[in-house]
Amino acid sequence: MEEKHEECGVFGVYSQETRNIAHTVYYGLYALQHRGQESCGIAVAFANKISYYKGMGLVADVFADGNLEALPEGDIAIGHVRYSTTGASQLLNAQPVVFTGKCGKMAVAHNGNLTNTKQLRDELIVENAVFQTTIDSEVIAILINSLSDGDILTGVKRACPKFKGSYALVVMTTDKLIAVRDPHGIRPLCIGTIDDEFVVASETCALDAVGANFLRDVKAGEIIVIDSDGLHSYMMDGVPKKSSMCIFEYVYFARHDSVLDGYSVYEARKEAGKLLARYYPVKADIVSGVPDSGNVAARGYSEESGVPFVEALARNRYVGRTFIQPDQRQRENSLSVKMNALRGNVRGKRVVLIDDSIVRGTTMRKIIKMLRDAGANEVHIRICSPIIKHPCHLGIDIQTYSQLIGAYKDEEQICESLGADSVRYLTIDQLLSTCADAKTGFCLGCFNGQYPYPLDDYKADKLKLE
């Protein structure tokens, strides 16, 4: 995958007994690390209190040196890994957001991006609300609190209709764990169980990491409340008949061993590779994927075409995803330590290279040059999604047309700009067919400009509240 940013992963646990619940959240966040590498945090409820720890960096680093052990035993806990889509990358903006409100101690963690953050924030400030951060997640927390009558569920029910954009939430008080998915289901959220405990997570891979059994996905527009009486479900009013999950969850964001809305991410990516081989074949000696997100599709391409799958690129697994670096210069500089061509595998070969998407083109351009410098005779690029022509304001940090090579170049021009021998993309219909068995509809806004929410008057600026 090249140069796209997804924002966050959320995780929550409700236990019937007091224990080292933070450890469960730690392993859940570890499994969701791919969703955000800027910061992370865990909050634990115990004895009508909430204790928390947050830090900048990876889960294993933030919770080293006794920071995990310092969290108390408890019966409810939530956690968060962050990539910023609203608000700068700094400790002040790390989640969960923890505060005291009408419902006592509360904590909120959010995956997604609101498009009406500034409007809501300005309205709350007029009502004398005080903000400590510059993130939309704090706006969510403050609005829920302001609309509550002392019952957290009332606050959530009243606040959700006012949110525009994408949100998968875990909300914690000292006696309840609440999970919420926006009416369009843009970001994933699922529920699992471990004996008599409930677990909520962005992806099923996090359930697997803590030994939880998958129960079901949270429905679009559903509010799940978990307390001492068990699990209770409430639906928002006016939920669209067809949900619109971000299709890039299947293309790239989710881990390939996750199952989202009833369908395997692995199968979707493998089918994408097969379709590329079927519709856009080319005479080649080897097929390879850009690690790691292109590898499954590359194997699918190999199975369909008979071209052998051979690794062309070696990845340093101790370097985070290139695009998750907070600015473009860092992303470009990190590529040289992240990836290297396997000269013996590509020298003298015609190479088909599979990737999930191309955003700016800078990373792919460097990879193609890397393969040519290593002796590849030809480099043919095959992409598991259509050309990205439009920005996304619903949880992917692609906020302007100037960031997109596909906004002003067609397939042939992109090929020339990258220095490839050929470039081919899946069409929208072909991409949709890879996810045909999923129990959801999809948002395709970055391909066709049609979003679940009208965005005509939205001004994109992730630092707008700084």
C-alpha 357/C-alpha 366 separation (Å) is 15
Contact 420, 381 (CB under 8 A): yes
Residues 6 or more apart whose CB falls under 8 angstroms from that of 248 comprise 4, 6, 357, 385, 396, 446
Using left for φ > 0, alpha for ψ between -120 and 50, and beta otherwise, residue 459 falls in beta
288: phi then psi, degrees, rounded to nearest 5 = -145, 165
What is the helix (H) or strand (E) element at residue 124, kind and residue range? helix 117-126
C-alpha 392/C-alpha 395 separation (Å) is 7
34: phi then psi, degrees, rounded to nearest 5 = -65, -20
C-alpha 186/C-alpha 338 separation (Å) is 30
Catalytic residue among 8, 190, 435, 446: 8
What is the helix (H) or strand (E) element at residue 346, kind and residue range? helix 343-346
Q: Are strands 39-46 and 422-425 parallel, antiparallel or unpaired?
A: unpaired
DSSP state of 359: S
Residues 6 or more apart whose CB falls under 8 angstroms from that of 139 comprise 114, 117, 120, 121, 124, 131
**Counting every residue, how long is the chain?**
466
Amino acid at 412: E
Contact 96, 107 (CB under 8 A): yes
As separate numbers, helices (DSSP H) first and strands (DSSP E) second, the chain gives 15, 23
Active-site residue 392, yes or no?
no
C-alpha 216/C-alpha 41 separation (Å) is 25
**Which residues are catalytically annotated?**
8
